[in-house]
Structure 1
Amino acid sequence: MSAPASAPAAAPDAGTTGRRVEEILDRLAGSGDEEATAAAAAAEELVRALMDFYGAGLARVMRLIGDGQQLALLGDELVASMLVLHDLHPENVTTRIGRALDTVRARHPVETEGFDPDTGVLRLRSTSPGGCGCPSTAQTAQQAIENALSCFAPEVTSVRLDTATAAPEPPLLQISRRPPTAATAS
């Protein structure tokens, strides 16, 4: 008798996993005694060894599958984040930013205004027609964009989202008949 099939676990996300690893390493190093410091150093060495091992394996996979099949992998957030983490992603940062934004544009339409690789700041402009400019809507969009970028383009360290604000309506212009003048009053 076989066990019932369970639903597949959700794929881990690179940002969450990275933060979790950092928290664990910080906890190990945080107690301050000599034994804990040695354990923290050993844990960091273990993480580096595993990163090197998995990075070498991913590099080999990318070489073996060839260019045509690589494209299918690049759209997967988990695979893309692993390739970026190991500096194996074949696309440049601008292309990866575009790919990340494509995953959220249906709900949060934005255009890229510019990316500064020195500071990691990505400037975006909301193109949402009739957007209300509500702070909660802008915050939701910002969070969705940052989550997508953490997988595809971790070089982006900060997102500046300028929301389009509607131009103020012009004042109502009252048009009426001209008052009579001396020349027309006779």
Structure 2
Amino acid sequence: MGEPSRPADAEVEARLVRLDSLLERVEQVAGPTADAAREAVRGLTELYGEALARVRDLAGPDVTARLTGDQLLDHLLVLHGLHPEPVERRVAAAVDRIAEVLRRRGATVELVGIEGSVASVRLTTKGCGGSSSGVEEAVREAVLAAAPELSDVRPVAERTAPAFVPLESLLPAAAPAARPA
């Protein structure tokens, strides 16, 4: 017998969107039944998180690396606080990946740092200013996909290189020296 077929990432994404929609509906309902539903979801989430932790611990580093290579499992490891890579390293890797794409389009991105739940990035774009908002959104999506525990990704102002101004240009012009006759 072969392995059971797994849903494609697009199908998993559609399931996650549907689940988010259902959970939002439950959150909007008041009363003991809604409270019980929310508690049941929390309990199942905690139980599955514990099961995932045990799989990770039993599997060892090789399998853990394969788990983090799967988009859904990587996200679940983050969700449950089980990801082996710290947020800083995941964000840096995401910025490096998108930097390669942006470089080909004449833009650069650099991770400035992470403070609390906010990552700061420095973006440099060439060309029309309208394209910078698309670049910002692409960077934001890439970073939050790698680190969904972050709440925001903020661009910081570009560094400008200091202009070189010769000292002589700042001094008053000296009168030419008189030549001996």
TM-score, with structure 2 as normaliser: 0.67
Q: CA deviation at 1:147?
A: 2.3
Structure with the largest fraction of helix: 2
Matched, 1:141 2:135: yes
Paired residues of 2:26 and 2:37 also in contact (CA < 8 A): yes
Instruction: For residue 77 of structure 1, report the CA deviation from its aligned partner.
Output: 2.7
How many residue pairs align between the two structures?
Answer: 150
User: CA–CA distance in 1 between the matches of 2:99 and 2:48?
Assistant: 32
1:116 lines up with 2:115 in the alignment? yes
Going from structure 1 to structure 2, the CA distance change for 1:18 and 1:153 (only over 3 Å counts) comes to farther
Q: Secondary structure, in 3 states, of the residue corresponding to 2:101?
A: coil
Structure 1 residue 85, shift from structure 2 partner: 0.6
CA distance in 2, matches of 1:73, 1:93: 17
After superposition, the Cα gap between the structure-2 partners of 1:18 and 1:152, relative to the gap in structure 1 and judged at 3 Å, is farther
Among residues 121, 127, 130, which one is paired with 1:132 in the alignment?
Answer: 127
- Give the 3-state SS of the residue equivalent to 1:107 in structure 2: helix
**Aligned CA distance change for structure 1 residues 13 and 113 (closer, same or farther; 3 Å):** farther
**Aligned AA for 2:111?**
T
Aligned-residue RMSD, C-alpha: 3.1
Q: Match for 1:139: what amino acid? A: S
Could you tell me which of 149, 152, 159 is aligned with 2:153?
A: 159
Q: Which has the higher contact order (CA 8 A, sep 6+)?
A: 1
Distance change >3 Å, CA 60–CA 95, structure 1 → 2 = same
Name the counterpart of 2:170: none
Q: Which runs of 5+ in 1 are unaligned?
A: 30-36, 168-186
Q: 1:132 deviation in Å?
A: 1.8
Structure 2 Cα separation of the partners of residues 51 and 67 of structure 1: 24
Aligned match of 2:27: 26
Contact 1:133/1:163, CA 8 A, preserved across alignment: no
Equivalent of residue 34 in structure 2, options 29, 32, 40: 40
Percent identity of equivalent pairs = 32
